[in-house]
Amino acid sequence: MYDIIYYFLYLLILSVNFLIIFYNFTYNKITKGTIFYLLINTLIDLIIVAIGKEFLLLPISTVILTCFSFMNLRKISYSIFIVILTDLVFAVSDSITAFLAITFFHVNFNSISKRSLEYFVIAIIITSISFIISRLLGKILNKVNIHNYEISKNLRNRLAVFFYAGFVLIIVNINIFDYKYFAKNLDNFVVNLNAFNTVSDFIIVIILLYLNNRIIKNKLLQEYKDKELKHLKEYTDMIETMSDDLRRFKHDYANIFQVLGSYIESNDMKGVKTFYKNELQPESEKIINKNRSLYLLKNIKINSLKGLISSKIYSANSNNINTYIEIYDDIHELSINEIDICRIIGILLDNAIEAAVLCDKKVIRLAIIKKENYTSFIISNICHENTPPIHKIYEDGFSTKGYGRGVGLKIVRKIIKEKYANVFLHTKVKDCVFKQDLVIKDLN
């Protein structure tokens, strides 16, 4: 009974160790699934120890942690990569603990029983070192935006780093298995050499990860610049189209008056009203609304944002959606990264277009309101009566467009939550109108 309790507590500490490292990397919230993972992993490890196959502990725990990671992160390549880093931190912590125990405390691992208090204390020390290393590394990864959706999505395109990290993990584990389970005698040289190799390989992986992320960030930055140029070109094209519409309307001006004159001469007021309602009014409103929208965009002094919004207006017009714009104050700067505001507004406008195009009455409204200490972007669109409730819309992975496509609003929430304490998004659905109010408080 003593052995069962001892091993259960010992293995529970190791399971907690893996979870500590995982959460320090991902910054995910602890859920009910965490307790389930702890129990399952500990019980399976207990069975492995009972049948005398302790060298299978780490591989089996890695598989279980990978499943748990995927259930939380929903991205298989990113999940595997985080688990690889978790295992590497555990291996580094184990090697450092062994080095410290032998070098400074003269511990003889050959004489320590695996059921002794010393072995239990060593497990606690490994967990403590794992916490310190993973917390520091988690902050580094957060600074290089490893959790950024676009960067984590591009990890699969950097297979060299991915496979190198996995290869290092395999080599490290082989070394650990060799000197823990197969070597008859552990001397200082073997332990110190293993510690040096493990830490060195780990540092190389982190350096490669940092360089890899910098390459991805530069690539994404270039893509955003290319999109900005594309959007500005579309804005220029729309200005030219507006001029063409005005020239065409001016060209038809004489013909319109001739038609009106013929109705007036024949005293056909019913014909005048019909011609005005069916022909003249729709065409004039279309030109006026388009010209007014483009004219008001001049108040946006942030070129990338102006180009993006004009591109979305063009897309909406192409789908026969009526767009109404209100921007009465100059928008020179915002207390948010330029790329992030473009991503957020782009996602919100895309969602509005996709919802409006499915309705009989296709309408989108955008208002940018500048106040003394904040700027508000209000985007609204006509939606169906059966639009899901707000709490459902913001669930991870939810989408009315099919599995795997409900990431837009999740990205918006993630950007705001992780990077901006001064940005707030309020969502409201009332009378078949879906409204998003993005508020950006000034930090100056």
Phi, psi (degrees; rounded to nearest 5) at 117: -65, -35
The pLDDT of residue 152 is 53
- Of 37-51, 56-70, 150-164, the poorest mean pLDDT is in 150-164
| Distance, CA of 106 to CA of 147 (rounded, Å) | 41
pLDDT at 405: 36
In this predicted model, which residue has the larger pLDDT, 438 or 222?
438
Q: What is the mean pLDDT of residues 150-179?
A: 62
pLDDT of residue 250: 63
Residues 393/409, Cβ–Cβ less than 8 Å: yes
Q: Count of residues for the chain?
A: 444
Q: How confident is the model at residue 402 (pLDDT cuts 50, 70, 90)?
A: very low
User: How many CB atoms neighbour CB 328 within 10 A?
Assistant: 10
Q: Residue 416 and residue 292: Cα distance in Å, rounded?
A: 31
* pLDDT of 322 higher than 60: yes
What pLDDT, on a 0 to 100 scale, did the predictor assign at position 165?
67
Give the residue extent of every domain in the chain: 2-222, 280-441
Distance CA 148, CA 414 (A): 9
The CA distance from 357 to 383, in Å, is 9
Tokens of 279: 């022909």
Q: Which of 94, 96, 213 is nearest to 151 (CA)?
A: 213
Question: Strand (E) positions, 282-361?
Answer: 322-327
End-to-end CA distance of the chain: 65
**CA trace torsion 121, 122, 126, 127 (10° rounding):** -20
Q: Please tell me the class of the 280-441 domain.
A: alpha beta
**Residue 22, number of CB atoms within 10 A of its CB:** 24
Mean predicted lDDT score pLDDT of the chain: 77
Angle at alpha carbon of residue 127, lines to 124 and 128, rounded to 5° = 90
- The predicted structure's pLDDT at residue 83: 84
Contacts 24+ apart (CB under 8 A), 240-244: 242/290, 242/291, 242/294
Does 377 have pLDDT greater than 90? yes
Task: Determine if the pTM surpasses 0.75.
Answer: no
Q: CA 401, CA 398: separation in Å to the nearest integer?
A: 9
